[in-house]
Each structure stands twice: as structure tokens, then as C-alpha cells.
Amino acid sequence: MHLNGTALKTIRQRTGLSLRALATETNLSHSYIQDLESGRRTHPSDETIQALANGLRIPITAITSNEREPAT
């Protein structure tokens, strides 16, 4: 699974949750979530992605894509 940080941020903002509120919901740090949203961090664990989806009360597919990273 690949997290779509832009979708994560958009959905979080649309739901009216602050970074700190989502951090509290998910037991993740607000700075980590901010890094995921901005693309500074990539490849979170499947458990982290599931926690974010649960915290936003959305299906996991709303913030993920099945696209594979290009081979380097």
C-alpha cells in the first residue's frame, strides 16, 4: 500500500480535524502526520495507514493507492 499524503491532508482538513486532534485519535505524533502529508516521510507501515483511516473514520482506500514505486 502507498499512502497518498495529499489525500490525507485534504480529508483531514475537510473533516475539521487539526493535526493534533488526529494525532490524539491515532496515537501518532502531529509532526509525523505532518511529514506524511507533506511527503517528507514516505512508506509508513500498513498499521499506521490503518490507524490514520480509522482516526478519520474513512475507508483505507481513500488515502492509499496501489501504485508501486518506480524501480531504481
Give the pLDDT of the chain (72 residues) as one tens digit per residue: 899 999 999 999 999 999 999 999 999 999 999 999 999 999 999 999 999 999 999 999 999 986 555 444
What is the extent of the structural domain holding 15? 2-65
- Is position 72 within any domain? no
- Is position 33 within any domain? yes
- Is position 26 within any domain? yes
How far is Cα 24 from Cα 30, in angstroms, rounded to an integer? 8
Long-range contacts formed by 11-20: CB under 8 A, 24+ apart = 11/56, 11/58, 11/62, 11/63, 12/37, 12/56, 15/56, 15/57, 17/55, 17/56
Start-to-end CA span in the chain (Å): 18
Could you tell me the three cell numbers for 13?
Answer: 482538513
pTM of the model: 0.88
CATH of the domain at 53: 1.10.260.40
- Is position 71 within any domain? no
- Is position 70 within any domain? no
The number of distinct structural domains making up the chain is 1
Give the Å distances, CA to CA, from 13 to 21, 44, 70.
11, 20, 29
